[in-house]
Structure 1
Amino acid sequence: MLEINFSVFPELETDRLKLRRADVNDINELFAMRSDPDMMKYIPRPLATDLEEASTHLKIMDEKITSNEMINWAITLKDDPKMIGTIGYYHIKPEHYRAEIGYMLLPDYQGKGYVTEAITKVVNYAFTTMNLHSIEAVIDPENVASAKVLEKCNFIKESYFKENEFYNGQFLDTIIYSILNK
């Protein structure tokens, strides 16, 4: 079975980005993302209502990174330490050599290719360093922008599930995209 160990947190770089561990200095940006109804429109989770909730979310992420259950990076521009988004593997299934990728980017930074750049880097990391066989992305069918980014990154639409999640009093559809380590 695959062994996961994030005891030394991997910082990654691309041409324009630095992917680092999120810390307390990122609370305002984390809160801005998780409290924005437009940003959370396709993510079936409650909106953050205050900085304390964002802080709790960061602590939970840290605990899960420490216990090797997930890994999440703060996305920053190389010349600015301010977090502009997040990307990571939220559900790692070592027994299946598979993980689920997720990402968010503050509105001012969307449409500039940053998510594509970050996905390409963390997919490469997953296949070469984590030794994953496959990566999945679970998205809302209405999230056309995310579907386009995944397809640009060579993810394939694998399935469409009708009303397979229940959130906030309603059943939601999901689409799963995936990429294999070839």
Structure 2
Amino acid sequence: MLEFNFHPFPIIETDRLLLRRITNDDVNEVFELRSNPETMKYIPRPLVKNNEDALAHIAMIDEKIETNIGINWGITLKGNSKLLGIIGYYRMQPENYRAEIGYMLLPEFHGKGIIPEAVNRLIAYGFNDMKLHSIEAVIDPENQASEKVLQKCGFVKEAHFKESEFYEGRFLDKVIYSLLER
């Protein structure tokens, strides 16, 4: 069975991006991401309502890193520490050598290739450093932008679950994409 260790925290670079640890200094951007109905449209989680909720979200991210059960990075452009988005591994299954990747980005940075660049780098990290065998992504079937990113990064549609999650009074479909270690 895999054992994950995120200590020291891995800072990751791409051509344009620096993926770094999220801190309490990012509270305004985390609030902006998690309180925006547009960025949260396909994420069945409650909107954060204030900075205390955003700080609680950052604390939850930290707790998962500290206990090695999940990891999130803040997405920034090199030379600018402003948080543009969040990307990471969730629902890690060390017994199956599998983890779920997820990401979100402030709307003003959509369509600039930032997420595919970050996803491709985290795929390499997942397979080479974490020793994963497979990476999955769970998306809303209506989230065409995310579907395009996953397909561009080599993910294949694995399943479409009908009305498999109950959230805020309605049943939601979910689609699973996956990528096997090449």
| TM-score, length-scaled by structure 2 | 0.99
| Unaligned residue ranges in structure 1 (runs of 5+) | none
SS of structure 2 residue aligned to 1:34 = helix
The residue that corresponds to 1:36 in the other structure is 36
SS of structure 1 residue aligned to 2:117 = helix
- Partner Cα separation in structure 2 for residue 122 and residue 69 of structure 1: 16
1:37-116 alignment runs, 5 A limit: 37-116=37-116
Deviations 1:77-111 (A, max 9, x none): 00100000000001110000000000000011110
Amino acid at match of 1:82: K
Divergent runs of 4+, >6 A: none
SS of structure 2 residue aligned to 1:47 = coil
SS of structure 2 residue aligned to 1:73 = strand
The residue that corresponds to 1:147 in the other structure is 147
The residue that corresponds to 2:167 in the other structure is 167
In the TM superposition, residue 122 of structure 1 has moved relative to its aligned partner by: 0.5
For the aligned residue pairs, the C-alpha RMSD in angstroms reads 0.5
| TM-score, length-scaled by structure 1 | 0.99
In the TM superposition, residue 32 of structure 1 has moved relative to its aligned partner by: 0.2
Are residues 1:177 and 2:158 paired?
no
Amino acid at match of 1:108: E
What is the aligned residue count? 182
- Partner Cα separation in structure 2 for residue 35 and residue 172 of structure 1: 20
SS of structure 2 residue aligned to 1:149 = helix
In the TM superposition, residue 119 of structure 1 has moved relative to its aligned partner by: 0.1
The residue that corresponds to 2:18 in the other structure is 18
% identical aligned pairs: 59
In the TM superposition, residue 25 of structure 1 has moved relative to its aligned partner by: 1.1
